[in-house]
Amino acid sequence: MKINNTLSVNWKAIKLNELVNLQYGKALPANQRKNGNVSVYGSNGIVGYHDKSLVENPTIIIGRKGSAGKANFSSNPSWIIDTAFYIEIINADILNLNYLYYFCKSLENEFVTPKGVKPGINRDEYLSNKIPLPFKNGQPDIAEQKRIADKLDKLFAEIDKAIKNTQTALEYAEKILQSELQKIFNKTTTKDGNNISLEDERYFYIETGSTPKTTKKEYWNDGNVIWITPKDLGRISSQEIDDSERKITVQGLKNCSASLVPKGSIVISTRAPIGYVAVAGRELCFNQGCKAVVIKSEHIFSKYLYYAIIMAVDEMKESGKGSTFKEISKSKLGKITVLFPFKNGIPDMDKQRYIADRLDKIYLQSENLKQKYREQLDCWFKLKQSLLNKAFQGEL
C-alpha cells in the first residue's frame, strides 16, 4: 500500500518489522492430518482440519506461495502449513491485531501483476511495508485502532452481504441459458426429433488439428493463417472465433496435418481443457488441442449445432481419458449424439433457425445480466479498497 505523503495529523508510518514477527508455517500433508476441529490454513485459507494446533493465539495468515500476499484471520487455535506465514505481534499494547489484519488486506493488490498473482513473496520484503498508525501522547493509539477496525468490521459485513446477494444473482444469470438448453436438448425428448451422432457422415465430419514444427521459422514468421488453440477459445467473450494469438504460414499449414475448416464449423477444445466451444467466424485451422465438427449437409443450421454441442459438453468431459490431461478422442467425440427436429424425414431447418434465434435472445439476456452483476461485484470490491485506503490515511 502506497502511503499518502500527507497523513493526517498525529499519524505516523512504521515498518512492520518493528512491530511484528513473520513466522514460517510448518508442513502438514493431508495424509498426516488427524480428525479434529483445528483449522489448517494454506496460502488461500482453510485447507483442512487437524487435532493439534501450531499456533494457539489468534493470528493473521499471509500466503507465501500460490496465493501470495493473501491475508486470512484465525481467531482460534490453528495450524499454518508451509505455503504461508503467520504473524506474531511483538507488543499488543501498541498494535491491534484486527487493525493489522485490515492493513494486510490492503496489501493484497500489491502482489497482483498483469500476469497474475506473484508466485511467492519474500519475508523481509513484506516486513519492509510501513503501516500507518494513529498516535496519542507520543504513543500508538490502540483505542483509535480498535475503533477503526470495528468500523471496518461493520462496513465490510454489509458489503459482504451485498457481494453474496450479487454472486447469487450472477449464478442465476449463468444458469438461464443452460436451463433452456436442457429443455430443448434433453435426449429423452424425441417427439418430432431424432438423435444424430457427430460421426454421421450424411451430416458431418470431424477434423483434427496439428502444430507445424516450431523450429521452422518459415512456418511461423509473418504467418496469416488463423491457427486456433484451446487458449484462444478460452479467452473469447463471444460465440464466434475469427482470430488467434499466433498464426502460421501457408507453408506451415502444408507441412503439418492441420486442415482449414470452413466458416460455420464448430470448433471444440478437446484437451486442456475439454469443452470450450465456438463457431468458426471464418476459414481457419487449429492445433491438436482442438477438433472441429464440419457441416456437410444443407439441412444443418450451424448455430443450432453450436447450442446442441454446448449442451453435450458435460458428456464430452465424462468421455475424456488421460493421466496428465484428459482428452476426448475423435472416435469418442463422434459417438456424441445431438437432438435435431425432423420434418418429412430430414432435419427441419426452419425449426432449427427458430430455436437458435430463441436461444440467441436468451444468450444475450444472460450475457447482459452477467455483465451487470460482474460490474456490481467490481464496484463492491473497489468500495472495500477505497475504505481501506481511507482507514489508513486517517480519514475513516
Question: How sure is the predictor about 1, in pLDDT bands with cuts at 50, 70 and 90?
Answer: low
Question: How sure is the predictor about 6, in pLDDT bands with cuts at 50, 70 and 90?
Answer: low
In a domain, 59, yes or no: yes
Cell for 12? 505516523
- Residues 78, 190, single domain; the answer is no
DSSP annotation of 217: G
Q: What is the pLDDT of residues 32-65, one digit of tens each?
A: 999 999 999 999 999 999 999 999 999 999 999 8
Check whether 354 has a pLDDT greater than 80.
yes
Question: Given 110, 138, 166, which residue is the final one in a domain?
Answer: 138
- Residues 243, 293, single domain; the answer is yes
Q: For residue 163, give the nearest of 382, 377, 350, 392 by alpha carbon.
A: 377
The domain in which residue 88 lies consists of 11-138
- Residues 23, 120, single domain; the answer is yes
Q: For residue 391, give the nearest of 153, 87, 181 by alpha carbon.
A: 153
- The secondary element (H helix, E strand) that includes residue 350 is helix 349-391
The C-alpha atoms of residue 220 and residue 251 are separated, in whole angstroms, by: 9
In a domain, 114, yes or no: yes
In a domain, 108, yes or no: yes
- Residues 117, 45, single domain; the answer is yes
Number of domains in the chain: 2
pLDDT at 186: 75
| Cα-based distances in Å from 189 to 184, 228, 334, 339, 367 | 8, 35, 21, 8, 27
pLDDT at 117: 58
**Better pLDDT: 112 or 139:** 139
Q: How far is CA 141 from the centre of its chain?
A: 41
pLDDT at 323: 81
Check whether 278 has a pLDDT greater than 70.
yes
| Cα-based distances in Å from 184 to 174, 189, 395 | 17, 8, 56
What's the rounded mean pLDDT across residues 273-292? 97
Q: What percent of the chain has pLDDT over 90?
A: 87
In a domain, 372, yes or no: no
Cell for 91? 507488543
- Residues 114, 189, single domain; the answer is no
In a domain, 145, yes or no: no
Q: For residue 270, give the nearest of 305, 235, 322 by alpha carbon.
A: 322
* Count of C-beta atoms within a 10 Å radius of residue 269: 27
The C-alpha atoms of residue 194 and residue 199 are separated, in whole angstroms, by: 15
In a domain, 159, yes or no: no
In a domain, 184, yes or no: yes
pLDDT at 35: 94
Q: What is the pLDDT of residues 295-328, one digit of tens each?
A: 999 999 999 999 999 999 999 999 999 888 899 9
- Residues 87, 203, single domain; the answer is no
Question: Given 138, 168, 191, which residue is the final one in a domain?
Answer: 138
Q: Residue 369 half-sphere exposure, CB side, CA atoms within 13 Å?
A: 18
Helix, strand or coil for residue 172? helix
| Residue listed under C-alpha cell 511484528 | 20
Torsion-angle region of residue 275: left (phi > 0), alpha (psi -120 to 50) or beta? left
- Residues 132, 237, single domain; the answer is no
CATH number at residue 264: 3.90.220.20
What's the rounded mean pLDDT across residues 133-156? 96
- Residues 208, 105, single domain; the answer is no
Question: How sure is the predictor about 114, in pLDDT bands with cuts at 50, 70 and 90?
Answer: low
Q: Please return the burial class of 42, using the count of CB atoms within 10 Å of its CB with bins 0-12, 13-18 and 19+.
A: buried
In a domain, 361, yes or no: no
Check whether 3 has a pLDDT greater than 80.
no
Question: Given 123, 138, 153, which residue is the final one in a domain?
Answer: 138
pLDDT at 115: 60
Q: What is the pLDDT of residues 196-251, one digit of tens each?
A: 999 999 999 999 999 999 999 999 999 999 999 999 999 998 999 999 999 999 99
- Residues 246, 338, single domain; the answer is yes
- Residues 71, 195, single domain; the answer is no
The C-alpha atoms of residue 374 and residue 371 are separated, in whole angstroms, by: 5
- Residues 242, 104, single domain; the answer is no
Check whether 188 has a pLDDT greater than 60.
no
- Residues 346, 281, single domain; the answer is yes
| Residue listed under C-alpha cell 512456418 | 219
Phi then psi for residue 382, to 5 deg, are: -70, -35
Mean pLDDT (the chain, rounded): 93
What's the rounded mean pLDDT across residues 67-76? 94
pLDDT at 2: 56
Check whether 385 has a pLDDT greater than 80.
yes
